[in-house]
């Protein structure tokens, strides 16, 4: 039996090189190198390479012949060794902050977070703002391995000097902490990727109030019912219902703007339920999912605003189920934008006396939740009403529940004291009667 049959393959000499069909059906290529040796096709990492079709094999053979003619050909083993050396040099090259931070931003934009969700556009935009606005100007192409504790402290001191745009008198500017958080996220990922041994041991400062001074009384954030009513009256009629949604349904701004007619469920007894299902994204201008799963909730609408809500829906909201409850124009199909509402709110709050300086629309939500707490709501009930996922956030309303507790304790004390006084009075009269 011939060698050809023993190999179970067929071979054909080309004008240059040789093709051979293997028993597997794939094609192998051999060709003469300019050094006088004969070579088979190899991959970039110097492993055997075969082809699915004869045409693919011929195409590859022609490309090698072209490289030889141009003087670009390198023996497969030599080429693989060169690539390994280049890869090792690249891996050993100290990567600069600009290059790695750009990789990191692309990663957070495209890959899911720990909970398996793609990060919101606004979140990625916020990260990018910290990177391009503060970190790149600070570090530039500084190798990651040179960004140590001392270097970060220099940056921190520089950031701390930036005055707060919200409150120039504040000791805190609201910049240093979020920039540090993003920097440490980048460096910890760099450590996981093997570019640095470990992230520097930096502690992130706790969140401090920027809007208020140290002597700020949290009760100043709580508007009185009279102030809420005045805000409703001075806000343009088309959008005034926003004030009531924030104060009495405890909705966030984006939740108010994301409401549609179908989210309000009316009942036979005249009551109504509000279903919070989406928000209007301030970054994209489109509807998007809520901040957390806890934000998706159904709320009883207080009777104090039912008649006004009915009138608002009748006059200002289109009849379609998906019509925005807060439209940009009367009975319009587009919701009012976050930006435009910001201007409307700024005008309204200036017309109401007694509100704290730069009183936020979000503070109306604190007003409603504080009053809800004063009625005896538990922390769990407050979390559900406000759509909170973290109990630490609603602990701020504990002072309201304690105030209510004190009020009830005083009522109890007064009732008991009055009853005991009445008993003492009766006993005194009884003793007088027996004395006579």
Report domain extents, the chain.
3-89, 97-192, 223-399
Residues 203, 206, 210, 215: is their CA dihedral positive or negative?
Answer: negative
Q: How far is CA 63 from CA 33, 53, 55, in A?
A: 13, 16, 12
**Distance in angstroms (rounded) separating the CA atoms of residues 140 and 143:** 9
Evaluate whether 26 touches 14 at the Cβ level (below 8 Å): no
CA angle 109, 114, 117 (to 5 degrees): 55
The residue to which tokens 């600069």 are assigned: 96
Strand 38-40 to strand 264-266: parallel, antiparallel, or no bridges (unpaired)? unpaired
Write down the pLDDT at residue 115.
79
**Distance in angstroms (rounded) separating the CA atoms of residues 367 and 396:** 12
Write down the pLDDT at residue 3.
44
The pLDDT tens digits along the chain (436 residues) read 444 444 445 566 678 899 999 999 999 999 999 999 999 999 988 899 999 999 999 999 999 999 999 999 999 999 998 888 887 766 666 899 999 999 999 999 999 988 788 888 888 999 999 999 999 999 999 999 999 999 999 999 998 888 766 555 666 667 888 999 999 999 999 999 988 999 999 888 776 555 555 554 555 578 999 999 999 999 999 999 999 999 999 999 999 999 999 999 999 999 999 999 999 998 888 999 887 888 999 999 999 999 999 999 999 999 999 999 999 999 999 999 999 999 999 999 999 999 987 899 999 998 999 888 888 888 888 899 999 888 877 877 777 676 766 777 788 888 888 888 999 899 988 888 887 5
Write down the pLDDT at residue 8.
44
**Distance in angstroms (rounded) separating the CA atoms of residues 249 and 385:** 8
Q: Which two tokens stand for residue 420?
A: 């005991």
Write down the pLDDT at residue 220.
58
pTM for this predicted structure: 0.60
Evaluate whether 169 touches 213 at the Cβ level (below 8 Å): yes
Neighbours of 33 (CB within 10 A): 14
The residue to which tokens 């093709």 are assigned: 19
- Provide CATH code, domain 97-192: 1.10.150
The residue to which tokens 């990191």 are assigned: 104
**Distance in angstroms (rounded) separating the CA atoms of residues 293 and 307:** 30
223-399: CATH, from 3.90.700.10, 3.40.462.20, 1.10.10.60, 1.10.443.10: 1.10.443.10
Residues 163, 169, 175, 177: is their CA dihedral positive or negative?
Answer: positive
Evaluate whether 178 touches 125 at the Cβ level (below 8 Å): no
**Distance in angstroms (rounded) separating the CA atoms of residues 10 and 20:** 6
**Distance in angstroms (rounded) separating the CA atoms of residues 252 and 365:** 7
**Distance in angstroms (rounded) separating the CA atoms of residues 409 and 295:** 34
Strand 27-32 to strand 38-40: parallel, antiparallel, or no bridges (unpaired)? antiparallel
Residue by residue, what is the 3-state secondary structure of the chain? CCHHHHHCCEEEECCCCEEEECCCCCEEEEEECCCCCEEECECCCCCECCECCHHHHHHHHHHHHHHHHHCCCCCHHHHHHHHHHHHHHHHHCCCEHHHHHHHHHHHHHHCECCCCCECCHHHHHHHHHHHHHHHHHHHCCCEHHHCCHHHHHHHHHHHHCCCCCCCCCCCCCCCHHHHHHHHHHHHHHHHHCCCCCCCCCCCCCCCCCCCCCCCCCHHHHCCCHHHHHHHHHHCCCCCCHHHHHHHHCCCCHHHHHCCEHHHEEECCCCCEEEEECCEECCCCCCEECCCCHHHCEEEECCHHHHHHHHHHHHHHCCCCCCCECCECCCCCCCECCHHHHHHHHHHHHCCCCCCCCCCCCHHHHHHHHHHHHHCCCCHHHHHHHHCCCCHHHHHHHHHHHHHHHHHHHHHHHHHHHHHHHHHHHHHHHHHHHHHC
């Amino acid at each position: 039996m011939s060698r050809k049959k023993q190999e179970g393959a067929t071979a054909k000499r080309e004008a240059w090189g040789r093709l051979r069909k293997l028993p597997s059906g794939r094609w192998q290529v051999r060709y003469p190198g300019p050094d006088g040796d004969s070579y088979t096709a190899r991959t970039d990492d110097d492993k055997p390479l075969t082809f699915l079709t004869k045409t693919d094999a011929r195409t590859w053979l022609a490309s090698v012949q072209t490289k030889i003619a141009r003087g670009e050909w390198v023996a497969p083993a030599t080429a693989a060794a060169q690539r390994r050396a280049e890869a090792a040099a690249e891996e050993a090259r100290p990567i600069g902050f600009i290059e790695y931070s750009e990789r990191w931003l692309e990663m957070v934009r495209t890959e899911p977070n720990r909970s398996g969700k793609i990060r919101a556009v606004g979140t990625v935009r916020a990260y990018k703002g910290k990177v391009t606005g503060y970190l790149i100007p600070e570090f530039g192409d500084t190798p990651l391995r040179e960004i140590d504790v001392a270097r970060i402290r220099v940056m921190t001191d520089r950031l701390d000097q930036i005055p707060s745009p919200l409150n120039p008198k504040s000791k805190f500017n609201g910049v240093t902490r979020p920039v540090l958080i993003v920097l440490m996220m980048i460096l910890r990922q760099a450590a996981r990727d093997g570019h640095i041994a470990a992230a520097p041991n930096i502690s992130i400062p706790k969140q401090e109030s920027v809007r208020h001074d140290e002597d700020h009384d949290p009760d100043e954030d709580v508007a009185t019912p009279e102030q809420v009513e005045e805000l409703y009256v001075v806000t343009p009629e088309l959008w005034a219902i926003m004030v009531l949604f924030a104060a009495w349904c405890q909705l966030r701004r984006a939740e108010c703007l994301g409401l549609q007619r179908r989210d309000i469920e009316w009942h036979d007894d005249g009551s109504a339920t509000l279903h919070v299902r989406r928000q209007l994204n301030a970054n994209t201008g489109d509807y998007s999912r809520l901040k957390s799963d806890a934000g998706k909730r159904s709320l009883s609408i207080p009777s104090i605003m039912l008649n006004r809500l009915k009138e608002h829906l009748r006059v200002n909201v289109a009849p379609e189920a998906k019509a925005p409850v807060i439209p940009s124009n009367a009975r319009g199909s587009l919701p009012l934008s976050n930006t435009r509402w910001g201007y409307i709110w700024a005008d309204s709050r200036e017309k109401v006396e007694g509100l704290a300086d730069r009183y936020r629309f979000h503070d109306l939500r604190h007003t409603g939740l504080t009053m809800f707490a004063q009625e005896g709501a538990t922390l769990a009930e407050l979390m559900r009403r406000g759509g909170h996922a973290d109990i630490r956030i609603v602990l701020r309303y504990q002072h309201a529940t304690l105030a209510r507790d004190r009020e009830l304790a005083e009522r109890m004390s007064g009732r008991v004291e009055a009853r005991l006084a009445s008993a003492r009075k009766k006993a005194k009269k009884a003793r007088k009667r027996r004395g006579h």
